[in-house]
Every structure is written in structure tokens, then in C-alpha cells.
Amino acid sequence: MSVLTLTIDEHPVSAKPDETLLDIAHQNDIDIPTLCHLDGLIDVGACRLCLVEIEGSPKLMPACTTRPQEGMVVRTNTDRLKKYRKMIIELLASEGNHQCAVCVVNNHCELQNLAYAVGLVYVRFPYLYPKKTLDATQESYIIDRDRCVLCTRCVRVCSEVEGAHVWDVAGRGISCEIVADMNQMWGDSDACTSCGKCVMVCPTGALIKKGANVAEMEKETDFLKYIVTARQKQEWVGEYLKEH
């Protein structure tokens, strides 16, 4: 496969054509904030945090779905981008009920970390105070839709990796929410295997383990990479199975 060269933030870097700008940036220790992206899941380009400037392109492009081109000049951290990232987090903060002090993922929350990273100190927009539902009918887990940022990682992990497709997005616009099966209680879901992958990939306190206290729960998302790679390469499949 051919190798391309391009420039990211003044650094010359090399890339394969099928990688994304985000992959390439990460390989070269260039940090681009993300929220809906997760290694192992198909990218949707929805959160707009990883937008980058590309010389010659009038539009900002999401790094997670944009492929490199020879000679491309990419900027990931201009003042304009920083301002927009901060505003995106500000919008998210106003949309849900994100009271960190009483959240089980306090100090282990991706949204909270992003807010620190972009330097968000106060929110200029009125809080929307959603009145969405909390569902604790599942035996081990809880979904609190007021803390959901609609990144759809749970939807994708359940469909792409677990293959159960319990979750999907319902409604549209500002009233979008994540639903289980036919908009029923999670505990009543026939499709759910209780595997907990959705809980582990959720960036906020929207999907949590039962019994965890405030600031107790840490999420682990690396497992996904291993599962997906192992599946692609059939790493965990016994030799006799591979042969047959």
C-alpha cells in the first residue's frame, strides 16, 4: 500500500490512505479532542469536536472520518477551532443535567475532562433541564437519560460488537433519546444480554453500574480495541476452528 506524506500542525507525518486524520494525529502524539469516536466502533462524525482545518478547504472537516491526501496541510488547534470546541462543550453542558458533584463517574467522566481541557468555566446559555427518564429495571445497570450526550457509542457497541442492537436513537432534534427495544424498560428487553459493554463505553454517567457511589465508577474502554482486533485477526479462535 502506498504511503502519503502530509503536514499536521507544522509536523510532517506519513500515513496510509485508509487511515483517518485522527488515527494519524494520535500516532504522532497530536491530541485532538473526541467524544463520539471510540477505537473499535464505526465513526459517525457527530460530535464535531475533532473538526480540523484543512488548507484549501472552505469547510471544517471531522478528523475521525477524513482520509489523508498527499501534501495535505492540516491544523488541529487554531484559535477558531478552540473557540468552537469550547462552545460545543458549553452546549452539551446546557443540554443535559450534568451535576458532577452527585455523579458516580465524577472525576472519571469524559465530558468533565473535556470541559477542563477546553477551559469551560461557566455556561452562558440557559440550562434546558431535560425531564427524560431514568431506568433502573435492568438487574445490574442503570440508564439516566438526563446525563446522556447522544454520542451513540452504546447504540454502536451493542449493534456492531455485541450484535444485540438493544439500543437505538428515538425521536429527533432536541428531543432525541436512547431507547431500549420498543421503547420499553431495559429490564424487559428480550434482546439485552446484560453484557455491560454499553455501560463501559458510555463517556458520561448516563449508563452506570448499580451500587456504585458518587465518584466511584471508572470506565474502561480499551477492551473494545482488543475484542475488535482479535475478531478481525481471529486471534482467540483455536487453531482447529480456524482450519474448519
By C-beta, is 52 or 105 nearer to other proteins?
A: 52
User: Measuring CA to CA, which residue among 153, 169, 164 is closest to residue 192?
Assistant: 164
- Piece of the chain touching other proteins by CB under 8 A; list 4-12, 76-84, 218-226, 233-241: 76-84
- Residue 129 contacts other proteins per CB under 8 A: no
CA 73 and chain centroid, separation? 26
How far is Cα 13 from Cα 24, in angstroms, rounded to an integer? 8
How far is Cα 154 from Cα 202, in angstroms, rounded to an integer? 6
Residue of 52, 109, 111, 179 that binds other proteins (CB under 8 A): 179
C-alpha separations of 188 from 140, 194, 210 in Å? 13, 12, 17
CB 228 within 8 A of CB 236: no
- Residue 214 contacts other proteins per CB under 8 A: no
How far is Cα 47 from Cα 204, in angstroms, rounded to an integer? 14
- Residue 65 contacts other proteins per CB under 8 A: yes
- Residue 77 contacts other proteins per CB under 8 A: no
Least distance (Å) between residue 78 CB and other proteins: 12
By C-beta, is 189 or 221 nearer to other proteins?
A: 189
The binding track of 5-34 with respect to other proteins, each residue x by CB under 8 A or -, is ------------------------------
Between 110-118 and 79-95, two packed helices, what is the crossing angle to 10 degrees?
Answer: 140
Residue of 46, 100, 212, 215 that binds other proteins (CB under 8 A): 46
Least distance (Å) between residue 235 CB and other proteins: 28
How far is Cα 57 from Cα 14, in angstroms, rounded to an integer? 20
Least distance (Å) between residue 216 CB and other proteins: 28
Q: Label the pairing between strands 134-135 and 73-75.
A: unpaired
- Residue 125 contacts other proteins per CB under 8 A: yes
Nine cell digits for residue 231 = 475478531
Chain residues that interact with other proteins, rule: CB under 8 A = 44-48, 51, 59-62, 65-67, 80, 83-84, 87-88, 91-92, 94-95, 124-126, 128, 149-150, 159, 165-176, 179-183, 191
